[in-house]
């Protein structure tokens, strides 16, 4: 404390004022008055020193606390019920500590999720890459039959298409997670989105002789992004086609009310086990009824796209009795962002 130039200047000033007041009291009044002024000044100086020393100790505690925070210790609690500038400072530091602790927890969670994602991606890529390497080695054999050569070449093409879809989907998901996707806010008619979304699955539907039923008023619409919403619906329809049997049925019903626009996509397939339902929108999650080629990306992407547009998606399913996906896009008020 004594090494602080400000404290030194303050002490010199207090001593000077005390001496001047004592001399002035002696000249104007009496020696007894001057003695009283001098003793009072000494007490005031001592009190000031004691108070300053206390403040220094409190500041040292705060400094030590900040050093511990910088080293990653967020468990100390400096809150108190006293009033004053130091108490306010303590409370503010405590609030910052809580914020840093929460951010550290979020970073740890993000790190854990990133590690799991990298592991899952590696696993998803390893199988097709290993398969293609084996087939490439077989293709290098000049004695290989032409029919086998055509078969292996076709298999390699299928695996490459799978990898291309996986990488493309992961890039889209990464953009959504990073908040770099600029979702448009246009008036979108549901029937037009359905027409766009059903195109990629018409051939698989036709192969499996599945019925496709659509019901709803042409005027039903919502405010959002046409192309991204179609992307979400494509992934949901692909899931329905995959899990609906030959000559099964897939239906879409949509309606609108003052609060939200609702889209119900339903199939009469084998359904989803109850224990799988809470996790089907989780990235890379594969339920018990998932196909061998399932990656666990499609529904996760649909979920991210829909929730990014002020909507939500729920699922209802009974094993053996089909699955229903319920999408709701909520109306936006004039004050909505």
- Rounded to 10 deg, the angle between the 85-139 and 146-178 helix axes is 170
Q: What is the mean pLDDT of residues 167-194?
A: 85
Q: Give the range among 86-90, 168-172, 237-241, 267-271 with minimum mean pLDDT.
A: 86-90
Cα–Cα distance measured from residue 122 to residue 275, given in angstroms and rounded to the nearest whole number: 26
Instruction: CATH number for 119-178: choose from 1.10.287, 3.30.2320, 1.10.1130, 1.10.3470.
Output: 1.10.287
Q: Which range scores top for mean pLDDT: 13-17, 264-268, 284-288, 329-333?
A: 264-268
Specify the pairing of strand 211-215 against strand 249-256. parallel
pLDDT over 90 at 219, yes or no: yes
The three-class DSSP label of residue 172 is helix
pLDDT in tens, 66-114: 777 667 665 655 555 555 666 777 777 777 777 877 787 778 877 776 6
Angle at 155 between CA 293 and CA 201, to 5 degrees: 50
Q: Which range scores top for mean pLDDT: 10-19, 130-139, 253-262?
A: 253-262
Where in the chain do CATH 3.30.565.10 domains reside? 186-330
On average, the pLDDT of the chain sits at 82
pLDDT in tens, 278-304: 888 887 776 666 655 566 788 888 999
Q: Which candidate, 264, 301, 261, places its Cα nearest to that of 172?
A: 301
Split at pLDDT 50, 70, 90, the class of 49 is confident
CB within 8 Å of 223: residues ≥ 6 apart: 185, 186, 187, 188, 329, 331, 332
Count the neighbouring beta carbons within 10 Å of the beta carbon of residue 83.
8
pLDDT over 90 at 315, yes or no: yes
The three-class DSSP label of residue 65 is helix
pLDDT at 20: 87
pLDDT at 30: 82
Cα–Cα distance measured from residue 129 to residue 132, given in angstroms and rounded to the nearest whole number: 5
For residue 247, is it left (φ>0), alpha (ψ between -120 and 50) or beta? Answer: left
> Check: CATH 3.40.190.10 for 186-330?
no
pLDDT at 336: 52
The label of the residue with tokens 């699922």 reads 315
Q: What is the mean pLDDT of residues 158-163?
A: 80
Burial of 158 by CB count in 10 Å (0-12 exposed, 13-18 middle, 19+ buried)? Answer: middle
pLDDT at 59: 78
User: Which has more confidence, 283 or 188?
Assistant: 188
Where in the chain do CATH 1.10.287 domains reside? 119-178
pLDDT at 334: 47
């Amino acid at each position: 404390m004594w090494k602080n130039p400000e404290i030194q200047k303050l002490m010199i000033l207090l001593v000077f004022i005390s001496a001047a007041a004592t001399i002035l009291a002696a000249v104007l009044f009496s020696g007894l008055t001057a003695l009283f002024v001098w003793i009072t000044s000494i007490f005031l100086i001592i009190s000031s020193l004691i108070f300053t020393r206390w403040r220094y100790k409190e500041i040292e505690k705060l400094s030590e606390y900040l050093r511990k925070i910088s080293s990653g210790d967020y468990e100390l609690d400096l809150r108190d019920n006293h009033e004053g500038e130091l108490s306010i400072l303590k409370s503010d530091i405590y609030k910052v500590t809580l914020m840093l602790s929460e951010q550290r927890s979020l970073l740890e969670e993000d790190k854990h999720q990133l590690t799991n994602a990298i592991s899952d991606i590696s696993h998803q890529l390893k199988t097709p890459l290993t398969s293609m390497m084996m087939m490439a080695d077989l293709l290098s054999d000049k004695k290989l039959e032409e029919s086998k050569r055509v078969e292996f070449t076709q298999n390699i093409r299928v695996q490459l298409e799978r990898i291309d879809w996986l990488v493309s989907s992961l890039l889209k998901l990464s953009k959504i997670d990073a908040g770099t996707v600029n979702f448009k806010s246009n008036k979108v008619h549901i029937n037009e989105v359905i027409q766009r979304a059903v195109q990629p699955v018409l051939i698989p539907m036709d192969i499996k002789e599945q019925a496709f039923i659509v019901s709803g008023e042409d005027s039903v619409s919502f405010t959002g992004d046409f192309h991204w919403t179609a992307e979400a619906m494509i992934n949901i329809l692909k899931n329905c086609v995959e899990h609906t049997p030959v000559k099964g049925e897939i239906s879409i019903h949509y309606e609108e009310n003052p609060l939200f626009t609702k889209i119900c996509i339903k199939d009469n397939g084998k359904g989803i086990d109850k224990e799988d339902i809470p996790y089907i929108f989780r990235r890379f999650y594969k339920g018990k009824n998932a196909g061998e080629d399932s990656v666990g990306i499609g529904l996760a992407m649909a979920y991210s796209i829909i929730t990014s547009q002020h909507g939500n998606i729920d699922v209802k399913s009974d094993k053996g009795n089909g699955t229903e996906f319920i999408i709701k896009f909520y109306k936006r008020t004039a004050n909505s962002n």
